[in-house]
A and B are shown apart, each in its own frame.
Chain A
Amino acid sequence: MFESLSEKLSAVFKNLRRKGKLSAKDIALTLREIRLALLEADVNFKVVKEFIRRIKERAEGKEVLESLTPAQQVVKIVHEELIGIMGESSNQLERAAQGPTVIMLVGLQGSGKTTTVAKLAKHLSGNGQNPLMVAADTYRPAAIHQLNVLGENLKLPVFDMGAEADPVDIVNASVSRAKSANYDTIILDTAGRLTCDTEMMAELSRMKEKTSPAEILLVLDAMTGQDAVNTAEAFHRELNISGVILTKLDGDARGGAALSIRMVTGCPIKFVGVGEKIEALEPFYPDRMAGRILGMGDVLTLIEKAEHQVDEAKAKELEKKLFSQQFTLEDFLEQIQQIKLLGPIDQMLSMIPGMGNMAKLPAGWSGEREMAKVEAIINSMTKEERQRPEIIKGSRKRRIAAGSGTRVNEINRLLNQFQQIKSLMKNIGGKGRKGKKGLFSFMN
């Protein structure tokens, strides 16, 4: 549904390259494409306006007009400005000068606060800290229970006083508890609230007064539209927030809200949530977010994940085989174990440029269950069949299906998909090699 900006600009610039020089009309056309792309990515329209003004100023300046490659200059400017606005990558959390550090999480209903509290606790405990999670959402039914269950799973402590207690009293008591039991960090899970609910907003202020948090983090759904600006402004006005955690980035939302809130509050995005697993909290990288907003995928995160999970020698081998046309079903089977380590395959594929929209993928190609099926099918093939899948015809298919407990159409599907993946990987591999600049390879 969303054509990426790079594709659109490629088309515009294709014409420009022939002319070699930019006219005022060319610039206007280019700026319009940039504007529409940002709006489609849910960047707030006021922010877009300001952004376009900056781009226009620079696009009409010497650096573009006197350049031999004006189109490339414009793209460079867009990318630079985007990264510039989104600021440094800073996932450092402030610590209290003395006593336990209080981190308060706030946000609208359903933005993912409770899950994020658990993810943050896990993150901090992994860094050698000793966090205490505090269940201060007494409004949503079973919210306290939810945090307790997450605490049990993580084997990390949760402080609660039941659903009848006053949230301000709860957070106040949690500080004393942390002091007496030597917890160095307290993470407050507050109830979701609407910014226009003045009473509830005032309650947050009272919690802030009682606990003097070192960090007040706004938890924001990456799918949020134009209203992200109002939400961020309202919480910032009330609480002077110190940062933002962007959640549900594992979907296909372009996340333009990231740019909006950064521009209106100046607060850094400290972490992003990328999955339902408790591990799925990642640092925020402005350059990757810029690429995502522009619809350019997130290859860097994928590569980094691979680096984390797969040992280097095996990763090199994987890369070589994936990107070469000698890649056989046997290699495929060998690599399935490796790929599995990278996390849910849908999540991985969504990081590849142009693959963000899962509708484009062959139906059913994803998920651990599908992988198990694929393993069974390949295990039921002879060595020769794995090397040369093209020899698998009718009777071989029936035998493989019987052997793996699947159906012939599933064998067909796998063979088709294998072919598709092969050509997909060939394309990615080809692109990556041709253009040294990676994401902006179309400029060359």
Chain B
Amino acid sequence: MSEEKKGWFSRLKKAIIPTKEGLIGRIASVTIGRTKVDEELYQEMEDILIGADVGVTTTLKIIEQVREKRPQEPTQLKDFIVEEISLILKHEEGKLNMSEESPTVIMVVGVNGTGKTTTIAKLAARFKAEGKSVLLAAADTFRAAAIEQLEIWANRVNVSLIKHQPGADPGAVTYDAIQSIKARNTDVLIVDTAGRLHTKSNLMNELAKVRRVCQAQLPGAPHEVLLILDATCGQNGLLQAKQFTETVGVTGLALTKLDGTAKGGIVIAISDQLSLPVKLIGCGETLEDLIDFSGADFSRALFEEETVQV
């Protein structure tokens, strides 16, 4: 393993340790000292998964599938559960869709307070480090000081920003941004949108318009529509993912605030029920704390950590 790869891998592991301690770690600890697989043990496993926000439907599905395998020993039961989870996550590949020939347009959407602007700053810093030219579009014209917040980040990361006045039409900001990246041949445009609850259809329509502007002005755009999801989010995350996908065609998820105590199990539920890939994990306050999500690596890291602990 190269140095770079190793560093990346340990960061991933570091990032998922809170999740692991909450989930796999607890699954493992429940089996310690147990000698038989009984209803009580199944019940405890069910509680652990639900307690990690995996949700009733996906939890019951996982438990059902494990039951069918008829585990004889508690450790076997645990292994089967870990296997099922990694199976659900395995089809996920966390690569951002990048355009080969034209500039890449990434639209960032989500409910209020999930960490859209911060994630955009981290993404911009990453592209910048890769030697790409980046433009940010301040299409959150609604929330007080949202434009200033993005502007501060743009200055820190040293990328360009297109902005209008507060209250301006987000579609118009996006239009200008796309004209700009076409004229200057910028590599990546990241569009920051206002946080909105997925139940507010007038605001969702506004978001659909931003998407249409992208489509109309640049064939193939937006190449990525990232839904930012807070790791503390409960079962409402499923409704968010569903509604945003219907309205603006979400192509990937970014799970933020995974450095907290929340387990982020909603990712397993969304992955299971909506087949939306998780692409990024936000796991800290510095610009580097954004890592690619890979289902295979994720479960490998889970297993690796587990063999150390158990």
Contacts and interface: CB of A to CB of B under 8 A. Distances in A.
Contacts, number: 175
14 contacts: A40-B56, A110-B112, A141-B152, A145-B144, A146-B143, A146-B144, A223-B236, A224-B233, A225-B235, A225-B265, A226-B50, A248-B197, A358-B199, A364-B201
A174 B310 CA distance: 52
Given A146-B144, A225-B234, A227-B53, 15 more contacts: A42-B53, A45-B50, A109-B115, A141-B149, A142-B149, A149-B144, A149-B166, A194-B257, A226-B52, A227-B262, A231-B261, A248-B111, A248-B112, A251-B197, A367-B202
B201 to A, nearest CB: 4
Q: Which of B144, B166, B231, B246: most chain A Cβ within 10 A?
A: B144
Contacts of B205: 364, 367
B82 to A, nearest CB: 19
Contact of A112 (B113, B237, B242): B113
Which residue, of B142, B143, B197, B205, has the highest number of chain A Cβ atoms within 10 A? Answer: B197
Q: Which size bracket describes the interface of B in this complex? A: 35 or more
B172 interface: no
- The interface size bin for chain A is 35 or more
Contacts of B235: 2, 40-42, 225, 254
B272 interface: no
A357 interface: yes
A350 B149 contact: no
A119 B243 CA distance: 28
Q: Which of A226, A231, A361 lies at the interface centre, i.e. has the most chain B CB atoms within 10 A of its CB?
A: A226
Nearest to B194: A276
Nearest 8 pairs of A and B residues by beta carbon: A225-B234, A110-B113, A367-B202, A146-B145, A42-B234, A142-B149, A141-B152, A149-B144
Nearest to A196: B261
Nearest to B257: A109
Interface string A136-166: 0000111101111110010000000000000
A110 B145 contact: no
A150 B146 CA distance: 12
B47 to A, nearest CB: 5
A433 B205 CA distance: 36
Interface in A336-375: 344, 346-347, 350, 357-359, 361, 363-370
Contacts of B236: 42, 223, 251-254
B55 interface: yes
A257 interface: yes
A24 interface: no
A227 B198 contact: no
Interface in B142-201: 142-146, 148-149, 151-153, 166, 197-201
A110 B51 contact: no
A221 interface: yes
A144 B283 CA distance: 24
Interface in B224-255: 230-239, 242-243, 246
B20 interface: no
B56 A36 contact: yes
Given A1-B242, A140-B149, A195-B261, A346 B47 contact: no
Contact of A142 (B55, B145, B261): B145
A225 B53 contact: yes
A344 B232 CA distance: 28
Nearest to A36: B56
Nearest to B152: A141
A243 interface: no
A172 to B, nearest CB: 25
Contacts of A145: 144-145, 148-149
B263 interface: yes
A350 B113 contact: no
A242 interface: no
Contact of B234 (A196, A224, A276): A224
Contacts of B265: 225-226
A192 to B, nearest CB: 8
